[in-house]
Every structure is written in C-alpha cells, then in structure tokens.
Structure 1
Amino acid sequence: MTPAQFHASLAATTPPALSPPLLALWKNAKGDWDGAHKCVDTSSETDAMWVHAFLHRAEGDLGNAAYWYARAGKPSATGPLGQEFEAILAALLGR
C-alpha cells in the first residue's frame, strides 16, 4: 500500500487489512482517537509505541507522549502533527 492508497481508503467506512499501528493511524484520521488508542495501547512493538506517542501528542498529553517516544526509541516530535503523521505513515508503509 502507498500513502496515496492509504489516504484514499479513508473514504471507506471500514478499514482495509492493516497492521495495528497503521490501523491506529487510520482510525485517528477518521476521528476515532479512542479506537486508535486501543489498537496500540498494550503493544510492546516499536512501531506501535511510536504511533502511541503520536496519539498522546495529538491529544495534548505531552508528558505521556514523551514517555512513549522514549520507549519507541524516537525523539519527541515538535513539528506540525500532520507532518509527523505523514512521516510515520511513510515509514510504516515502507517496511
């Protein structure tokens, strides 16, 4: 899947088959923060922890986000949320 295909899938009411971190991004993009959080909140996988950090940053809980960035081995993001979303999406889809 490409980022363009991912974005096109957002027009659907149900997600395509996606890994939990990508499903979390999909749900978040559809406005379902709680559903997105449930996709990654118990995972110890690095990608899931990275998305978990992004979600807490998006909700404004920067302390919790910093914890998850550290767990994911990523620096705390400070740029625009949309830019971070696209960077995470590209990284996850490039694997």
Structure 2
Amino acid sequence: MSRVWELVDCRPGVPPSLSNGVKVDQVLDRLEAGETPKHLLEAFHLTPAQLIAALGHAALGDDQGEGIGLIQSPPSRPWLEKVLSDSTWQALLPAAPRPARLALVAGLLQVHDFWEASHEAAQEADDLGERDVSAFWHGIAHRREPDSGNASYWFHRVGRHPLFGPLAASVRPLLASISDRSVADRLLDGNQWNPFGFIAFCRDGKPTSTLAPLARKLQRQELIALLDETAASVGLG
C-alpha cells in the first residue's frame, strides 16, 4: 500500500535500514548530533523520500508495534522539531508548492508528537488552499488532542478521501483478528474507511482496555498511508 514506507527494510531481527543499507538509527544519530538534513542526504546519498521513510519509521515502528499514542504526549525526541520545520523542507524540496510542503511538515510533526507545531502547519496549509491532505492531518490532530467535535468538523472537510478505500483494505486483516465483528461495522463503510466511526471508537483516546492496542494499530496504518499520500503530494514516492 505504501510507497515511501517500503523504502525501509523492516525484516525481523535486522536493524531497520533504508534501501541503500543506511540504518535508520544512523540517520537519527547524525541528526541529533546537529548535522543538517541537507548535508546528511549528501553524505549518505539519500533522497528526501528516504529521509521521510526513516523519520516515519522512527516514530511509528515496525508491524509488531502499535505506533504512537491515541492521545498526544510530549515528544520523545524534542531535538527533532527543528529538523521537521518548514525551513528544513524548503531546502530539501525547493520545487514543492509551499501549501503541500506545509502539509508534509504537519504530518511529520504529528507522528513525532509535536502537536502544536503540527496543528499550526496544517492550519496554514489549509489557509493557503491545500485540499488534498492537510484537512486529514488536521482531523487527526484534533482526534489526538483529544477533541472529537473538532476532529469530526475537519473530517467533514476531508469528505470522501481517495485514501479511504486502500486504507479500508489494509486494516481488514487487523479487524479480522478480533472476535467482535461489530468493530468492523463501526469502522468500515462498505469498502471505505469510516473516520467518524474511528473517532467514536477511540472515544477521545480511551477505548476499552482490550481494544486500545487495536485502536493504536489501526491508527498506525492510517498514519503510514497518509504520510505516503502526503509525500506523493510533494512529488515523492
């Protein structure tokens, strides 16, 4: 389903690495040490898409994990905020339209739990006329705030997104793994993802204890798919 995500090799027992052999941890270590993303790409012969893949994997982990929390929390890597800023991505993607680039920034900031900065970037992208993914990121931000009313408003703005079909297909195996078949009825509308059902399912970030891991795994699939779609909107993937 995901083009950018597939740039990371996540085989069990092997440290996550990019398609050219550079380990995700190496990327993070160099960034934490203060190396600029532009210099890092030159040194490791990476593309912006590979950097997005590494940053996404660092936040969301492999298929055995659950990704980030349903509710925002303090960022685990505070030093990353500057790396994820619009000025960084302007240098890496100078030809990308600024509204689309801001949507990418909103997504990367959101998956790394820089909630305020992500919300601001999503709002600015929307103000500048971005209509493909920024409202989706905005809705996720409010769902994780948690503010279900505001989340619903933004998903109404999203409308019937082209991602809902592929996303529904990707989460079916997860939904089939649980005995409660009513969950699928709540989260899928035929062959489409139902974002309003997922808002209700998360119940402002507090699903029942037995369903919380499932909710996080579903959110992880959603974030991977949307990050990939967002990368495509700036000409990557």
Counterpart pick for 1:84 among 222, 227, 231: 222
- Equivalent residue letter for 2:113: G
The alignment covers a number of residue pairs equal to 95
TM-score, length of structure 1 as denominator length = 0.78
Identify unmatched segments of 5+ residues in structure 1. none
The alignment status of 1:94 with 2:213, answered yes or no, reads no
The alignment status of 1:38 with 2:84, answered yes or no, reads no
Identify unmatched segments of 5+ residues in structure 2. 9-49, 59-78, 94-100, 161-193, 199-214
Q: Which has the higher helix share?
A: 1
1:5-44 equivalent positions in 2, closer than 5 A: 5=50, 6-9=52-55, 13=80, 14-15=83-84, 16-17=88-89, 19-42=101-124, 43=126, 44=129
Task: Give the percent of matched residue pairs that are identical in Structure 1 and Structure 2.
Answer: 26
- Cα displacement string for residues 69-95 of structure 1 (whole angstroms, at most 9, x for unaligned residues): 111214525153222111211222234
Of 44-53 and 9-18, the range deviating more from structure 2: 9-18
- Cα displacement string for residues 2-54 of structure 1 (whole angstroms, at most 9, x for unaligned residues): 23421413668313516111111111222210000000124142211111011
> Rg bigger for which structure?
2
Give me the CA root mean square deviation.
Answer: 2.6
TM-score, length of structure 2 as denominator length = 0.35
Structure-2 separation of matches of 1:83 and 1:93? 15
